[in-house]
Structure 1
Amino acid sequence: MTFFEKIGSLLGTKALRNSKSSASTQSGADDQAWMFPAPTTKIEHASSRSTISPVTSARNSQPDVSKTKWPFGDESVPRNRLSPEVELHTDSPAQVSNHAGTPTLFQSEVFFDTPHRDPLKLNPLKAAFNMILAFGLIGALIAGYAIGLQVFDLGITSIGLYGTILLSEYFVQVVCAISNRVDVNRIATRLIPRNVDSTECEKGVMGTSSCLMNPGSEVSIAVVGYREDEQAWRHCLRSLQTQKLAPKCIIGVVDGNEEPDLSMAEAFVGEFKAYNAPLIDLPILLSDLHRETYFNNVAQDTRSRIVKFWHYLAGKGRPGHAAALSLARQAVVDQVAEWNGRWNIEKLKAVCFSQPHGHKRTAMFTAFAMSMYAVRTRDAIFTTDSDTLVQDNALDEMLALLRSAPEIGGVTADVKIWNRAEGLLTRLCAARYWFAFNIERACQSMWRCVGCLSGPMSMYRTSDLETILGPWNLQTFGNKPTTFGDDRHLTNQLLAHGLKTRYTHRTWCDSESPTTFVRWVAQQTRWSKSFFREAFWFPASFAYQSPWMLVEMTIQTLYPFILVATAFHLIFDASDENKWRALIWLVTMFGIALFKCLVALFICWDPWLLLFACYGFIYFFGLLPSKIWALFTMNQTGWGTSARSSAERKRGQSFLQRSFHVGHLVVWYSAIFVGVGFLLYKLLDSALFFLIAVAAVLASIFLYWDPDWVATPKRKLTGWFNKREPDAESSAVLESSLPEKPMPAHTSAKAKRHLVNISAESVDSKITPAVSTRGSRETIDVPPRAFTLL
């Protein structure tokens, strides 16, 4: 009998999610093990030792989880328990123990739909080819640019090696994007019932049940937010209630439990009043519990730098990684089981959690853990943002694509801008979004390697999400936990496990775009940080994925630096070889962008896409310098642009805060405008053109100018002339199709100050619980079954 068979016979379950093959195929899966420790794990009696203590002092008065009935499944489902006399620990110096007595081992294969897959194997030839391709492409691009290699000589201008590669890339992108549309439509058409016209289903004119492609499937929705604008938050929640494929549970997590955060929680309870949705205030962060348990029990890292680098390339963890990861997972499972046993979360159709403020990733971790271990969502988990309006066919369409092949671990869909009519900036962002999703991600989808499953609209197979949840939460950069870029790293974790990712155009969501230039720059800087950070982490994914992913990643990484070098060379070049060279280059770039717009019109007739030809202006003066700045500030963390409530916006920014966001633009504008002045001096032979550098000062004033300073005079002027502000363009999710807006259940924000204590026996949907308040004699209105964990 092998080691794993001994473990299985003792504990009654399997060590790995894909351990259907012989034990010999599992020897290289140490870094992917979830259910149990690595083969070096021993089991022995050590009841006196205990280093995992996830139950904090705030919950010391709560009953022991070992005395709580395990709520996972009915009595017919086999449940295996660890004996109270045994303890799991590794050979590492760190001592480990069971969590809170006798925990139940959560059997993923029992509750989650786990497709059968062949064991993941590394193809040495494919890995070697990808590495040679990467370094060869980088070397060719740098060498070609350095020597000024001209591939096509057009007389007045020429196209170098990098320009040739860019044009070729776009041609491949268009062909693959169109092919992906055909493939996705074929998958959906095959699943639509034969007695129903597919075009009628797309228009939504048929009954819900007759058009479903995945009847009986289980999908839960996870939506998180932090001090979101209340109107946008309510519209988001109401759009989630219109799904044709009814979700098993809608889980909202508010990243904060202070008084300013209460409005989001109140709005959730009010919008889901028909669902009898409760509000649960969690005293701890599940993500912190997971991290602390892991680092308290992982072995000391004694590897040399060479070995660390090799393991980094191969995607392997440190010694004892699998054992500590298994214990951290078990700690989270036990804690969720305790809360589920007390509050019956698994029976809820909608629930809102508030928790101590951390960041977006901590809120998402809570939502994922509750979806998997409390609600036990069988098929998939859908994620969206707090400002997003989701189409009613989103769950059904995305699940159809997710289940079209067993190797697909996640899918994403189109993202549009619902406030695109508010200004030129939002129009340009809307055009950029169309190209990013309908060309770039659609092309990646054809190669089964979408590089980023977008946060506003993505879906993950539950069994795969459980596999990557732990490593995703443990990610660090520069010895600091990472916060932003959660969607990109989730995608990279899937790709690094050899799974595929896809994109569908058949459904979409409407998200908000920043309406001010400074806020847009802050958003793009945050996204650029996550891009560069994940680019350093990406080698683990190259070995298992298509070479196209590597080609795109290389081009996107080098593009900003080559563009900066080209721009400075053109404006500061003192030679008289061709004075109009910079102008010719500018016209050529505009012509290429216009050609892309015409191709887009052929795919999707939307005249507003022609604005993309002007997107290069804000890219050059906003996004390009922000990418360079992001590369040097990747260690700076935070929610970035995520706090959008009116109270948060009224706070404004200090001079130092604003300087951190736009200071690099001031330096960039100074250099560019001085260079433009030098270029005009060279063309027109007049030193007065150096005065154009004054434009850099005016641009800097614009960056520091607060729009609220002129808001009041503008409103007065509008009132004098009896003018009306233009209405924002209507969202793709029509207001008339949303459920009737209910009133909030709480009467005031003061309700949060009163801690509500409800006994566990009273948590029954048919019984109105007895409520007792502490610290006040006032009578307050409590939403149905709303409670706070004490």
Structure 2
Amino acid sequence: MFPDDQPGRDADHRAGVATGGHRVPASRQFLNVIGCALAIPLYYLTTAHSRYPVTLDIIITIAFTELNRYVIEGCRMAFLGRQRVNGPGALQEKQDKEAMYLESQPDSPKLECLAAVVGWREDPSLYGRALESYKASRTCVFLLAGIDGDEAEDQDMVRVFKRVYPEHSAIIQIPEPFGEVAERVRSKAIAQTRHQDQPVGDEEADAIAMQYCIELAKGILVQHNLRIGAPDGVRHLCLKQRHMHKKGIMFTAYIFSLVVADILGVEFLWSSDSDTIVFPDSLERTINTIAADPDAGGASSGLVVHNSQETTVTKLASAVYWGELYLTRSTPACTGTSDCQSGPSTAFRLAALPEILVPWYLQKALGKRMIVNEDRHLTTNLLLRGWKVMFASDVLTATDTPTTMARWLKQQVRWARATHIESLLHPRVYATSHPLLFYGMAKREFGPAIGAIAVIWYFFTSQQLVVFSISDLLLRVLIGCSYNFLRNPDRLTAKGLLWVVPSILFYYIPLPAVHLWSMMTMGADGWGTSMRASGEQARKETLRKAWFETGFFVVWMGILGGVVAKLLGVYFCMVWHERVAAILVSTAVASFGAWRITIGA
């Protein structure tokens, strides 16, 4: 799949991947399944048989978060140790057993990477800031910008690229998206072998399509004579192709990244979005968590919001990132089984990509092609093949967040759909991964669903399925906020801290509805939110589409309003007709308020 002219560790490791060198042994898979079975009663005991279930949950989550911090710091120390042992003159200084062990390990990897930044009709000023941010990264030796569109409106991004990187840069128009090429070649290979009565397996067909795409990318680079790797050669490359979707431009960018990396002898790829701003150490400190471990296929960093002061919604969202996402993503990560390498801040070991790119691109779920769960399905494919996936929770990258309630809800629904698809429709991943991945999935999938069903059940029957403890919830909030204040690498300002408590309501009140609606509409396609270019922002969606995408929130808030009225009616000992009136008024007011800030806005 790769030429044999690249010596050393990377070439050997790629060869291992091509022959299935990361398949998880059957004995390990059996133990993982046993562990998953034991996780079910453990989760039941910590919820149904605990007086303080959500407090206990946050304590367990904090413990896993600290363990993850310890693990990633150990990975960095191992990398630094290998760097010292393999550095100039270090062989004469090796006296102890540890040095002898390190000397026997493969050559030290270099902390150099390619960066692939993909997008479509991004706001020009934001795109410029995103590209500029890579200039401060010592780790990035080559930047590849992928633009999913070649029409007049897409030229804004091309002009920004030219302005930010006027020298040692080039722009290439891709005649046909590589995803379509791969699909056609794969189908043709299968048809030919079937005609010859020699059925080809899926993996072999994927390899044929992958090899064809790599050779095609090589030919395009040779045709443009970019002199990649030469002192006066191209170090910043912009690829543009006909508009498809994010997955389509990612596939093309990753193919070219493999080819360019092979030329430069680079082992890692940083993948990000056109609205993401990296800090000087974002790439380096994410990649050094996987650099020393040849079994680590990917990692991602934590996220902060760079437009947090834009609107009330962005201020609340920024506090959500600070208070919730830092903790929730750490639970399975301490065992190298992080289940989502977030799109804005992901690093890959390039050796892991050739085997997974074609099946990732051609993914089908519920009989439909999937295009909106690109980051999670990449992670699933790595875990299925036995690669470790890390979460560098102490590293930060700045991303953009929606500025309105409607756009925020659409984003949350899209993410939730991807989560359901990867968590529920790929059960084999739990056999190839540590049982903690299954435990984290069970908490994430069943908790909000039970909460939503309990609220709806009480609204219609006045019967409680779940007993909520106010003291339990308050203690959970206190412990979670205290821990984040002490340990979260994102140091909120005094003004930012004022939004923490409101953000808890902002996040958790819609969460059960988002969870339930996304589960009911898992097969829905479309990105939901429009891109940030002025032309895209000006487009108006139909009323029917608006109700489909955010109408669930209007209904949910009406139900919550009715539940609150019922509880108050019981507390104040209202007679039945007073309760009915209170429920009707509260339901109507809550529904109207939700409609006003979403569909009506």
TM category, shorter: 0.7 to 0.9
Secondary structure at the residue paired with 2:298?
Answer: strand
- The 1:622–1:319 alpha-carbon spacing in structure 2 relative to 1, beyond 3 Å, is farther
Partner of 2:96 in structure 1? none
1:342 matched to 2:223? The reply is yes
Letter of the structure 2 residue corresponding to residue 547 of structure 1: P
Alignment of 1:538-617 (within 5 A): 538-568=426-456, 574=462, 585-586=469-470, 588-604=472-488, 606=492, 608=496, 611-617=499-505
CA distance in 2 between partners of 1:650 and 1:368 (Å): 32
Q: 1:466 aligns with which of 329, 344, 354?
A: 354
TM-score by length of 2: 0.83
In the TM superposition, residue 678 of structure 1 has moved relative to its aligned partner by 2.4
1:200-215 matches, within 5 Å, as none
Specify the alignment match of 1:60 in structure 2: none
Per the alignment, residue 210 of structure 2 pairs with 329
Structure 1: how far apart are the matches of 2:324 and 2:159?
Answer: 35
1:233 is aligned, of 115, 127, 137, to 127
Q: 1:433 to 1:700 in 2, by over 3 A?
A: closer
Q: 1:629 to 1:368 in 2, by over 3 A?
A: same
**1:183 corresponds to 2:74:** yes
Asked if the contact 2:58–2:480 (Cα under 8 Å) also holds between the matched residues in 1, the reply is: no
- Counterpart of 1:475, as a letter, is Q
2:251 match: secondary structure: helix
Q: 1:490 aligns with which of 378, 395, 399?
A: 378
Counterpart residue type for residue 629 of structure 1: W
**CA apart distance, 1:301:** 13
In the TM superposition, what is the alpha-carbon distance from 1:365 to its structure 2 partner? 0.6
Secondary structure of residue in 1 paired with 2:392: strand
Q: Flag the structure with larger Rg.
A: 1
Gap change, CA 1:532 and 1:165, over 3 Å in 2: farther
CA distance in 1, matches of 2:396, 2:134: 13
Name the SS of the counterpart of 2:531 in structure 1. coil
Q: Is the 8 A contact 2:54 2:476 kept in 1?
A: no
Correspondence for 1:365:
251
- Once the two structures are TM-superposed, the CA of residue 322 in structure 1 deviates from its matched residue by 2.4
- Superposed displacement of residue 332, structure 1: 0.9
- How many residue pairs match? The answer is 558
Segments of structure 1 that go 5 or more residues without pairing to the other structure are 1-34, 36-71, 79-105, 153-157, 196-213, 303-317, 708-790
Q: TM-score, normalised by structure 1?
A: 0.64
One-letter amino acid matched to 1:344: N
1:114 Cα deviation (Å)?
4.1
**527-536 or 593-602: which moved more?**
593-602
Counterpart in the other structure of 2:281: 393
Mapped pair 1:381 → 2:381: no
**Structure 2 Cα separation of the partners of residues 190 and 122 of structure 1:** 28
Deviations 1:194-221 (A, max 9, x none): 99xxxxxxxxxxxxxxxxxx89654211
Structure 1, residues 111-168: CA drift from partner, whole Å, max 9, x if none? 68649799445444543343344355447767998xxx5x34xxxxx44xx6586355
Match of 2:187 in 1: 295
CA distance in 2, matches of 1:144, 1:551: 12
- 2: CA distance between counterparts of 1:467 and 1:215? 21
Alignment partners' CA distance in 2, 1:126 and 1:227: 46
CA gap of 1:434–1:246, structure 2 versus 1, over 3 A, is same
Contact preservation (8 Å) 1:299, 1:320: no
State the match for 1:279 in structure 2: 171
Per mean C-alpha deviation after superposition, the further-off stretch among 512-521 and 131-140 is: 131-140
Structure 1 distance, partners of 2:76, 2:9, is: 31
- Kindly provide the amino acid, as one letter, of the partner of residue 680 in structure 1: L
* Equivalent residue, structure 2, for 1:652: 540
Paired AA for residue 155 in structure 2:
L
1:767-782 map, 5 Å: none
Greater helix fraction, Structure 1 or Structure 2: 2
TM-aligned CA distance change 1:389 to 1:338, over 3 Å:
same
Q: Give the superposition deviation at 1:261.
A: 1.1
The equivalent of 2:520 in structure 1 is: 632
Aligned to 1:242: 136
Residue 134 of structure 1 aligns with an amino acid whose one-letter code is C
Quickly say closer, same or farther: Cα 1:404–1:330, change in 2 above 3 A: closer
Aligned pairs for 1:259-274 within 5 A? 259-274=152-167
Alignment match, 1:251: 144
Change in 2 beyond 3 A, CA 1:670/1:115: same
Report the secondary structure of 1:402's partner residue.
coil
AA partner of residue 594 (structure 1): L
CA distance in 2, matches of 1:439, 1:218: 29
- Residues of 1 paired with 2:380 and 2:227: CA distance? 30
Displacement of 1:410 after TM fit?
Answer: 0.8
Judge which range, 560-569 or 175-184, deviates more: 175-184
Deviation at 1:704, TM superposition (A): 4.3
- Structure 1 residues 467 and 374 mapped into 2: Cα distance closer, same or farther (>3 Å)? same
Asked if residue 412 in structure 1 is aligned to residue 309 in structure 2, the reply is no
Deviation, 1:573, is: 5.9
Q: CA RMSD in A?
A: 3.5
Inter-partner Cα distance in structure 2 for 1:320 and 1:130: 27
Q: Is the 8 Å Cα contact of residues 590 and 613 (structure 1) preserved in structure 2?
A: no
Cα distance in structure 2, aligned partners of 1:369 and 1:125: 34
Structure-2 residue corresponding to 1:65: none
Q: How does 1:22-171 map to 2 (within 5 A)?
A: 35=1, 114=14, 119-120=21-22, 122-135=24-37, 137-138=39-40, 151-152=49-50, 158-159=51-52, 163=54, 166-167=57-58, 169-171=60-62
Instruction: Quickly say closer, same or farther: Cα 1:417–1:110, change in 2 above 3 A.
Output: closer
SS at match of 1:466: coil
Q: CA contact under 8 A between 2:69 and 2:394: conserved in structure 1?
A: no
1:242 deviation in Å?
1.7
Residues in 2 aligned to 1:525 and 1:125: alpha-carbon distance in whole angstroms: 38
TM-superposed deviation, 1:471: 1.6
Equivalent residue number for residue 115 of structure 2:
221
Alignment equivalent of 2:329, drawn from 436, 441, 454 = 441
Q: 1:696 aligns with which of 587, 590, 593?
A: 590
3-state DSSP of counterpart to 2:289: helix
Is the CA contact (8 Å cut-off) linking 1:180 and 1:443 kept in structure 2? no
Post-superposition offset of 1:356: 0.9
User: Which moved further from structure 2: 668-677 or 280-289?
Assistant: 668-677
1:507-546 superposed matches below 5 A: 507-546=395-434
User: Secondary structure at 2:344's aligned position in 1?
Assistant: coil
Q: Distance between the aligned counterparts of 1:683 and 1:616, measured in 2? A: 25
Paired residues of 2:530 and 2:537 also in contact (CA < 8 A): no
Distance 1:585 1:636 in 2: 36
Structure 2: stretches of 5+ with no match in the other structure: 88-107, 229-233
Q: What does residue 355 of structure 1 align with?
A: 241
Comparing both chains, which one has the higher relative contact order based on Cα–Cα distances under 8 Å and sequence gaps of 6 or more?
Answer: 2
Distance 1:327 1:134 in 2: 36
Q: 1:363 to 1:116 in 2, by over 3 A?
A: closer
**Is 411-420 or 637-646 further displaced after alignment?**
637-646
Q: Secondary structure at the match of 2:297?
A: strand
